[in-house]
Structure 1
Amino acid sequence: MNSFAALRERLAEAAAEFAGPADAAADILAGIVDDVDRALSEELEIFPVCHHSPASALAMVRRLREKQPAVIYLELCEDLRPVVDELRNCKLPVALQAFAGDVAGHPAELAPLSVIAPITESSAEYQAIAYALDTPGVELVLVDRSTDHVFQWAPREERFAPEAEPADAEQLHGDAVGLEIGDLRPRFAELEQFLLHHGKVRHWSEWWDQYVEQPLVGADYDTYRQVLVLIGSLFRRLRRGSTAVDEDRERYMWTRMREHLAATGTDPARCLYVCGAAHAASRVEQFGLAATAEFEISPRTETVWHYGIVPSSHSAIEAQFGSAGGSVSIAAATWAKALRRNKLSPFQLAGQPGTGTAALPAITVPTRVTDQLTEFLSRPPALDPLDEAELREWSVDIVRLARRNGYLASTADAIAIYETSILLAGLRNRARPTPYDFQDAAVTCLEKDRVPGRRDVRRLCEILLGGDRIGQVGYAALPPLARDVLDRLEPLGLDLSKRRVQRALLDLRADPHLRPCSDLLWLLRRLLPAQAARPIMGSHGLGERAIQESWDLDLGRHQRSLVELGYEGVTVEQVLEQRLRRSVAAPDATAATALAAVEDALVYLGSARLADELGSRAVDLLAAERTVDDAPVVLRRIRVLLDHFRSSGTELPHWCARFVRAGYAHYCTLLPSTFTDEETGPRQVAAMLGFLFGMEHLAISLGCDRTQLELAVAQSHPESPEKVALLWAARFQLGSLPLEQLRSRCDEMLANPLVLPAFPRYLSGFVQAIDPAPALKPFAVELLSKAFGRLPDRVLLPWLPTLVTTLRDQAGELVPVLVREAARTMPATRNALNGWTAPWAEPTGPAPEAAAGPGPRAVAGLLHAYPDTTDALAELLGCAGTWQRPAADNDSSAVAELLTAYPTTADALTELLGTD
């Protein structure tokens, strides 16, 4: 423990000079030196890393080629080990995933559970994985706690508030919990703000790249280890809040490593432990192979976990872990540049683009800790010389890219970007402009007032410096369900692995063999996000069979959703069947949910057996419901199902008959209370009446008693105007309230100034009553017409907005029915309106002559006024004759004599024609 004595003494002197001898800074600085000494003196070599760090990846490549360990212990969930082998079938970046749809032992509200661990080529963990999997005789052991323990050990507030990524990250990770190796970010806000301010940077990613990544890219291995452990120890000691979870993870990892060494007898000198820098500075009692403290690992819950690989991207990783936009892409560019500069060949899994690097002969390296940290911290940072060619290339390329995206950029802008980059670097005490300096210069010089296209200049710089690389899971690494989907869609002739929208045209009449593809696409439409499979033409419902369909398919971009679907079953049909059964068995399931499941079972699976099972569950759920909130949905769905069974010619299923009987009794029982319940809206009451009156004939034929409905209506005493109108409509439908009496009541309301403000609500109730009582459609039009015809403008104009909003909110879907009825009742042209009389208009009273019956001359004049009608009627009756027009009003013609001889016929004809 004396190798860092000089550094410890110098830090203690500095702390005493700036903070005083009794300040806590001296203890912290001395403590971090002790942590470094302890970690690097451990018998098992510890390799500290930072997540997606080019410096860590470069140091890992060097160390693996130098030491060639036989066992690599990696800080990653131990149950992810089987899926690591599938990385060779993928295009990086991807993410290892553990997924659980059904939870047991975890809070039900957390389901589904998902954990992801992103892997990029420029990460130290990938280099270690590639070396271990492609080098014979090397064993890779994952030693971190299982994914089940991730949720067991997570604090309650974190478990119930998962951090979701923004929508612009394409939801490649969804709401999964992210795992990263080496989270090196101070959880001490004051320290982070201090570092950003004095480092003249905007965010933590830029500070880390400038003051840690760049100096360590070319550092030797001992210096790299000491600096990483130093930073990890410092951030760990300054972290606020509980560190119990991190300490339990460290106890877990050291316990697993000791167990493996004891079981295999491997020499610790041939092993390498890869972990985050903060874990390397651990102070738990289980730290080190010489520790004797035991740690009891709690058992996993009964949750069944599924494992796979999902696509990832640089932007998704940045959003998941709160890094600055473009930081992962810049790290990838730094990694590639450092490989070229140092002439290193990275490790790469066979099967991925490029070729793997063969292992070199083993080299024995003495493990001796020397104090390289003091020299590294004492000397000023090396200033990289300006790479004029690189900066010039960036400046020219960004102008070219900007012009391609609609910016008015020129050669002068390229020169300005070049000079501004150098200026900004100088202001920030940097001799060499960093990619962040270049980004700021480009934004300053190119983004004048607006963004002409979809991409701003900062995004263009990210594309230029490496772009947002998006990974892809290979066919061999997909779960069986995903492979089955791709195989079954192969007749479409599309490459569905591409990350772009592709149009599929299906002529099902000319190519009947594409019908299975159509059925599968509709299934995917039901199970996957809406944009994965979007129909442009065609429909799929009960009894519908399209002859032509057009689809926009984007399965490549939604590969993650397809992979997670594979965790639930072997085929999409099995997954849908399981989901339907779970939906009706859920504690919050309703009759409407079960009816929707029945419809899906018939439409997507064509399974009458499953539909009967789900329908029986719908009957039980309806009988157990104590509210009628879902009555409109229940009515709509049961009508659709009954129409389907009637039109298909099949016998009505037994569950349908039970559902109608149960629904009739259920709604009759609840009708009086729902009429008076203030929390139950008129839509629900109208739906109940629609069920009772619409299913009345079927229910009575199945054994229901109409008296039950009559008693329920008689016991109902609503107070709300809408429900009062619905009650009157129900009584009208039952025959206990004649139309004339109903009209009289409404006329009285229109004439009452005190009731007039509430009349729109009455009218809304009558409009909603159109469904249970279709015969009231003309009456609703009559009420609305009377209101507009009788009310004066001073009353009508303030009253009209209330009417419109009431109808829109309470009966919006029935207003088109009302409009069609009005169009049928009203005259179609303006000229016809002048002589039109409303069917409900009151008669003005009979003429004196008509009091004793129409006179012969009046009837004769009517017939002479409409000779065409009289001729048509005579021809229809087979009578022939000629017209005789009387010379004067007092002439007694043959027609007059005929009408006088048969006065009853004349009276009937006059009444039929509506004349006096």
Structure 2
Amino acid sequence: MSTAPANGGAPAGAAPFSPLRERLREAAEEFAGAPGAAAGILAGMVDDVDRALREPVEVFPVAHHSPAAALAMARRLREKRPKAVFVELCEDLVPLLDELRNCKLPVALQAFASEPEGLPSAGGPLSVVAPVTEASAEYQAIAYALETPGVELVAVDRSVDLVFQWDAAREAGQGPDAGQDSGDGAAEAAGLHGGAVGVEIGDLRPRFADLEEHLLHRGRVRHWSEWWDQYVEQPLARADHDTYRQVMVAVGGLFRRLSPRDARLAVDEDRERHMWRRIREHLSATGTDPADTVFVCGAFHAASPVEEASSTAGDGGFTIPPPTGTGWLYGLIPSSNSAIEAQFSLAQGAVSVASATWAKHVSARSVRPFRLKGQKGAGAAGKRSAVPAAAGAAAGPTAPDPGRLSGFLSAPPELDPLDEAELRTWCVDLVRLARRNGYASSTADAIAVYETAVLLAGMRDRARPTPYDFQDAAVTCIEKDTVPGRRDVRRLCEILLGGDRVGSVGYHSMPPLAKDVADRLEPLGVDLGKRTVQRILVDLRAEPELEPASLLLWRLRRLLGAPVRPIAGACALGDRSVQESWDVSLGRDQRTLIELGYEGVTVEQVLEQRLRRAAWDPGATAASVLEAAEDALVLLDSPALVADLGRRAVEVLASERTADGAPEVLRRFRALVAHFRGTGAGLPAWCKEFVKAGYAHYCTLLPRAFAEEEAGVGQVAAMLSFLFSLESTALALGCDRDQLELAVAQSHPEDAAKVALLWAGRHRLGALAREELRARCAELLANPLVVPSYPRYLSGFAQALGPVPELAPFVVEAVSEAFARLPDRVLLPWLPVLVETLRKDAGTMMPALVREAGRTFPGKPGALDAWTPPWAREQAPAADGDAAAPSGGGGPAAELLDRHRASCDAVAAVLGADGAWSGPDAGAGGAASPAAGGAASLVERHPAAAAAVAALLEGRRVRT
């Protein structure tokens, strides 16, 4: 036997196909009017068939998820009983095939890499899937090889590592290599394959849009799947083996010759060199007779003109590149009809139609399929089709018979008499299903669907109605213009034809992590085999032994998200509920759980790895690292991990150059400090280092944050809140308060809100008395040019309630004074601005402000007439020249100390201060007390502290 030359010319000994070649050339010349490319393409198709049939290794061309290919495969395997089966499948996926026994099809073989190394991909994780359905030729070959003693199954396609090394077309955006995501996000929506790269046997489709558009137009169909089912699948469903092989090779040769010469075609040629090299290596190593083998590959590859694509050719200098350093993990994930359709750009319902066609021929006993023993979904038919241990005599190579292809191309299609009964059954069942879904359908609609389907098939030049004709007829006759429920008629047709069949992975085929999760959730009644959403109720008070399982659910919630959803209950710092309610859909979302198993052996290990990865990520912020530390504290209870993450948070905080994350840092660190102080163990070492680093860091950033427009007032307020709320701790740890005072003194904001915030900060430090704040606000209200921006000042004061909460009475006073002093013509225009500004910039502080206003104003409208604001009562004694005020102080502080001289004397005695009271009552009752004079001297030396204490106490007194 001889092989064809690389140029695709007629091979030696091609006389059997010479008459067919001449007839096709004459037909092309008659059609085109002159010899041309069409004649060469048609003649080349015959050459491809001749070359493939003369190959010693029997080449069996298939198309992906083709029931005709599966039927022909099952018939041929029972007839020939080959000793070796070569399959176009990634060679490193073979160890997964035996695990198919524990699964319910469809499932997908998966290779997963979380951290790719040396690959051209943009980044990880990377995922490759190869879906397997029962109505596919590859599954028939796998089941035959695994169930028949003495038969070898050899995967000869490139490894998953080479998928990304060679997939230059995909990286360049020129289209998928072996059937990939269609790019419209449909595979993501299917939720089973995610964004994985799909590899499959027999990607057979025109590779440029003009040819596909022409075929769809001439075939009167809307999608390629419909064209393929009409003109290839149905005619080949009952064809004999020789006819099937010749037609499939001819179709593959046609599409190959019409394919553009691009990077994708170059990758296909390298794949063919790789596959045939592996075949030659196996034949040489085992001594297997090529006549006892079958090579299951796509029809596109079966018509390969590559010189090395033969069992008798050499390598031709072709070398297989070494694998990269990427660590690949392998497993099985669930798949579904809709996920396969979305992944490989098939029409919606195409896989369901293929499954229905397969089931029709199997039930008619026209073929006995192969199934793996013990597989879910394989019933009595699977047991009857088990392969006997003694293999029959192998069928030897036969001479090419050109009459098969000639007869098939020239004979008209035959009408299957069973199709009429099948169509009637579809119509009756559809009407029954439509009634259950709210449609007002009747027997007349069933008759109308039948007649319309036959009419549509005739209009489209079809010998018999196809499932697609039936769907169109059903939509026309039943749905009309309304859909009473959630499902339209097209969806009902898909359900009728088999629906969106979803596979599942058995317990024994899951990775160790998934098995561990199933075992640990068993006390809660969680069944990973159910695809429904399971409602789980946990009462830790009645059943405390369920706490480990409950904590596992919270960890899975942190890792997986939607598949584990809490309805009631909490697990946070200082908040652990004793009664919980969960919605768990791990059975429906097996893929996420299985892919989680690629990252570690237990959930705790994976969670720790992710927390560390997030903390040491180059883009990590202090807030994100604190979040990781909080999760480690709540979910893992690992002090060592929390300490590592805390030290990392200190490093990240010191390296930040902006105040963008200050609010989140403040919120999370406050919660952690409160937790540690509440447990009684005190602050750990990393918390103390964080306080010291944060105090110095925010003091350094404060002047620039006040001046920059990019830094919002909320971020500056968060920085001040950190500094003021943790000031005592920072000073106890050795920080210098002068640094904070200097930072505030160097701040010179221009924004009105930041100016008010700075005033509040200076007041908190004792550099600005409340009387001066009142004076400045009064000056702002008296200036007509400043009044329009006064809401911004009020927003800044409201934001200041975070770092300076004792200013709440003053903020109420400032707002009230604005409403009291401004005339309506000025107040009304900026009132909406005030409301919008406070809502936008100070929304979190408004509850505190409203509570303070509720304590300040009277509760009844009738009391407003006789009500005097507390700030007015504070200013009245000073206005009347109260002589009882101490000479060393002034204002509320002096008044408060004068009213409580006994307390002041006691404090002065403890502090060892000397001095005497001044005023009309100084000598009452005897000589002035030295201790009393010491209190007065303290007030004189520290007026700011006395004013702050007085303001705080006065506010409490007024509220009381």
- Contact kept? 2:82, 2:394, Cα under 8 Å: no
1:70-106: CA deviation from partner (whole Å, max 9, x where unpaired): 1111111111111111001000000000111122223
Quick one: distance in 1 between partners of 2:287 and 2:875? 114
What secondary structure is seen at the aligned counterpart in 2 of 1:74?
A: strand
CA contact (8 A) 1:53 1:213 kept: yes
**Higher deviation after alignment, 259-268 or 77-86:** 259-268
Letter in 1 for 2:351: V
Q: Which residue of 1 aligns with 2:914?
A: none
Give the TM-score taking structure 2 as reference length.
Answer: 0.86
Q: Is 2:355 the counterpart of 1:323?
A: no
Q: Which residue of 1 aligns with 2:336?
A: 313
One-letter amino acid of the structure 2 residue matched with residue 143 of structure 1: V
- The one-letter amino acid of 1:616's match is R
Partner of 2:108: helix, strand, or coil? strand
Query: For 1:162-311, what aligned pairs fall within 5 Å after superposition?
Result: 163=183, 165-166=185-186, 169-240=189-260, 241-242=262-263, 243-292=265-314, 293-311=316-334
Q: In structure 2, do the counterparts of structure 1 residues 757 and 580 end up closer, same or farther at CA, with 3 Å as the change threshold?
A: same
Determine the C-alpha separation between the residues in 1 that align with 2:770 and 2:90.
Answer: 75
Distance in 2 separating the partners of 1:141 and 1:748 = 89
Q: CA deviation at 1:207?
A: 0.9
In structure 1, the partner of 2:776 is 745
Deviations 1:453-502 (A, max 9, x none): 22111111100111111101001101111011111111123433200011
2:306 aligned partner, one-letter code: V
Specify the code of the residue in structure 1 equivalent to 2:322: P
Separation in 1, partners of 2:578, 2:779: 57
How far has the Cα of 1:157 moved from its partner?
5.5
Alignment of 1:350 with 2:363, yes or no, is no
CA distance in structure 2 between the partners assigned to 1:753 and 1:11 by the alignment? 95
- 2:356: which partner in 1? 333
1:605 aligned residue (624, 630, 636): 636
Alpha-carbon distance in structure 2 between the residues aligned to 1:832 and 1:497? 69
Q: CA deviation at 1:847?
A: 15
* Residue equivalent to 1:101: 114
Pairing 1:117–2:146 present: no
SS at match of 1:126: helix
1:478 lines up with 2:478 in the alignment: no
* Offset, 1:55: 0.4
Q: Deviations over 1:649-677 (max 9, x none)?
A: 11311111111111111111111122222
Partner amino acid, structure 2, of 1:26? A
Structure 2 equivalent of residue 893 of structure 1: none
* Amino acid paired to 2:32: A
1:316-374 Cα deviation digits (max 9, x unpaired): 11111111111100100000111233432110001112225224523423332221222
Asked if 1 retains the 8 angstrom alpha-carbon contact of 2:554 and 2:635, the reply is: yes
Alpha-carbon distance in structure 1 between the residues aligned to 2:36 and 2:848? 82
Counterpart CA distance in 1 for 2:750 and 2:882 is 49
Decide whether the 8 Å contact of 1:229 with 1:278 is kept in 2. Answer: yes
1:52 offset after TM fit, Å? Answer: 0.3
Q: Which runs of 4 or more aligned residues in structure 1 lie more than 6 Å from their structure 2 counterparts after TM superposition? A: 159-162, 842-848, 850-853
> CA, structure 1 residues 715+463, in 2 after alignment: closer, same or farther (shift >3 Å)?
same
CA contact (8 A) 2:85 2:154 kept: yes
Q: For the structure 1 residues 22 and 399, does the alpha-carbon distance in structure 2 shift closer, same or farther, using more than 3 Å as the test?
A: same
Q: 1:286–1:294: 8 Å Cα contact kept in structure 2?
A: no
Q: Give the C-alpha shift of residue 244 in structure 1.
A: 1.8
CA–CA distance in structure 1, aligned partners of residues 170 and 864 of structure 2: 70
1:110 partner SS: coil
Q: How does 1:690-839 map to 2 (within 5 A)?
A: 690-839=721-870
Larger deviation: 628-637 or 385-394?
Answer: 385-394
Point out where structure 2 has 5 or more consecutive residues left out of the alignment.
1-13, 176-180, 884-955
Alignment check: 8 A CA contact 1:385 1:431 kept: no
CA distance in structure 2 between the partners assigned to 1:145 and 1:621 by the alignment: 44
1:383–1:430 contact (8 Å) kept in structure 2: no
- Inter-partner Cα distance in structure 2 for 1:320 and 1:505: 37
- 5 and 795 in structure 1: CA distance in 2 versus 1, 3 angstrom threshold: farther
Following TM superposition, by how much is the alpha carbon of 1:834 offset from its aligned partner in structure 2, in angstroms?
4.2
Q: Quick one: structure 1 residues 790 and 424, their matched pair in 2 at CA, closer, same or farther if it must change by over 3 Å?
A: farther
How far apart in 2 are the matches of 1:696 and 1:913? 26
Q: Residue 653 of structure 2 corresponds to which residue in structure 1? A: 622
Aligned equivalent of 2:407, options 370, 375, 379:
375
Structure 2 residue 542 is matched with structure 1 residue 510:
yes
Equivalent residues of 2:188, 2:194 under 8 A apart: no
Query: What SS class does the counterpart of residue 504 from structure 1 fall into?
Result: strand
Question: After the TM superposition, which residues 646-725 of structure 1 pair with which residues of structure 2 at under 5 Å, given as runs?
Answer: 646-725=677-756
Q: Deviations over 1:110-148 (max 9, x none)?
A: 211111111000000000000011110111111111111
CA shift digits 1:841-875 (9 cap, x unpaired) = 48998999x9999xxxxxxxxxxxxxxxxxxxxxx
CA deviation string 1:675-727 (max 9, x = no partner): 22222222221211111111111111101001111111111112222222222
Amino acid at match of 2:258: L
Instruction: Give, in angstroms, the shift of residue 619 of structure 1.
Output: 1.1
Quote the Cα distance in structure 1 between the aligned partners of 2:881 and 2:604. Answer: 78
Change (3 A) 1:631 1:851: closer
- Alignment of 1:578 with 2:609, yes or no, is yes
**Distance verdict in 2 for CA 1:384–1:803, change over 3 Å:** farther
1:168 & 1:624 partners in 2: Cα distance? 38
Question: 1:844 and 1:623, CA in 2 relative to 1: closer, same or farther beyond 3 A?
Answer: closer
Return the letter of the residue paired with 1:221: H
Moved more, 375-384 or 604-613: 375-384
Distance 1:13 1:167, change over 3 A: closer
Task: Compute the TM-score of the two structures, normalised by the length of structure 1.
Answer: 0.90
**What is the alpha-carbon distance in structure 2 between the residues aligned to residue 460 and residue 620 of structure 1?**
59
Q: Over residues 16-67 of structure 1, what are the superposed CA-to-partner deviations in whole Å (9 max), with x where a residue is unaligned?
A: 2333545332332232222222222212111111000000000100111111
The residue identity in structure 2 corresponding to 1:49 is V
d(CA) in 2 for partners of 1:751 and 1:589? 48
- Whole-Å Cα distance in 1 between the matches of residues 672 and 841 of structure 2? 26
Contact 1:623 1:663 in 2 (8 A): yes
Return the alpha-carbon distance in structure 1 between the equivalents of residues 647 and 878 of structure 2.
67
Residues 207 and 668 of structure 1: CA distance in aligned 2, closer, same or farther (over 3 Å): same
One-letter code of the match for 2:449? Answer: I
**Structure 1 residue 107, shift from structure 2 partner:** 5.7
Q: CA deviation at 1:737?
A: 1.7
Whole-Å Cα distance in 1 between the matches of residues 235 and 594 of structure 2?
41
8 Å contact kept, 1:261–1:268:
yes
